[in-house]
Amino acid sequence: MRKIGFSKYKDATKEVLPKSYKINEITCQRKMFCTMINQYLSTHSQFNLGNSHLFKHNLLHIFEDKIMSFFQFYRWRPEKTQRVVDIYIKDSLLFNQYFKQSKHPKMRYLTRSIHFTPNFKILAEYKHPCVDLVKLIFNGKEIEMMLDLNEIFRQTIYNRIKREKDKEVTLDAPYIHISQNGVKTRLYPRWKHVNPKELHQRRNDIDEGFAQLQNEEIDQCYLVYPKTDGFIRHITFKSEQEQELKMIPYSFTFTNRKRQRCQR
């Protein structure tokens, strides 16, 4: 299982970032990662993809910067003696658990007793936006986020399929189904490298695709893989029964469209 994300060991943060067609610079790989992660976050929790300066930092910094954006620290004056009473930190024990282990100076400042009621628990019907972020990177003991790349790839494709009045799109993991004009198409996204000159490496995927066309109630089957420098066009296969199967290259260059060109 391919995974992407980051892990933290002592003071070091190790990133495992996705690589794809013309996404070569590390800043662009981080932006691509955050684009994929945004689909799991509520609207208020999502990263601002237009902030190119953000992606100069590692993933942990990006997440903590977003978390701290919900706590308007500039309004608090530690040099003054008045008590800060109403701040978001009191809304969830989860914040306190995360902030206590963090080395971020502002997060550690927020864990002082004048800012946090340790016995306070979040109400069941309330969900603060940064809870999504903390839960992604913190398991209660360690800071780490390693996510299934196949799942993220599938979810990204599903979310980006254009919806139309007469088109039904369903996510039936590990597949995506599109039904339109009486035709049912199956997309099977997998994060695997495709070399058109060595298609024997994907022989099992091809045989499986033809078997699904033969035995299941689908009319078309597309095997979807990340686009690479060598795999830039559709590849069509035909069975002895004249059934067609296609390999589709999927590009992530949209993550940097209308921004700086992230390629070398």
pLDDT in tens, the chain (264 residues): 789 999 988 788 999 998 888 888 999 999 999 999 998 898 889 999 999 899 999 999 999 999 888 776 645 554 444 444 444 444 566 777 888 888 888 887 777 655 555 555 545 555 677 888 988 999 888 889 999 999 999 999 999 999 998 999 999 999 999 999 999 999 999 999 999 999 999 999 999 999 999 988 899 999 999 999 999 999 999 988 889 999 999 999 888 765 444 444
| β-bridge partners, 100 | none
For the chain, which residues make up each domain, given as ranges? 3-148, 150-256
Q: Identify the pLDDT of residue 38.
A: 93
CB 256 within 8 A of CB 31: yes
CATH topology for 150-256 is: Trna Endonuclease; Chain: A, domain 1 (3.40.1350)
Q: Identify the pLDDT of residue 113.
A: 54
DSSP 8-state assignment for residue 138: B
Q: Identify the pLDDT of residue 257.
A: 65
Q: Identify the pLDDT of residue 264.
A: 43
Q: Identify the pLDDT of residue 151.
A: 95
Q: Identify the pLDDT of residue 72.
A: 64
CA 67/CA 131 separation, integer angstroms: 9
Under 8 Å CB-to-CB from 154, ≥6 apart: which residues? Answer: 171, 173, 174, 176, 189
Q: Identify the pLDDT of residue 130.
A: 80
Q: Identify the pLDDT of residue 208.
A: 95
Q: Identify the pLDDT of residue 19.
A: 85
Q: Identify the pLDDT of residue 187.
A: 98
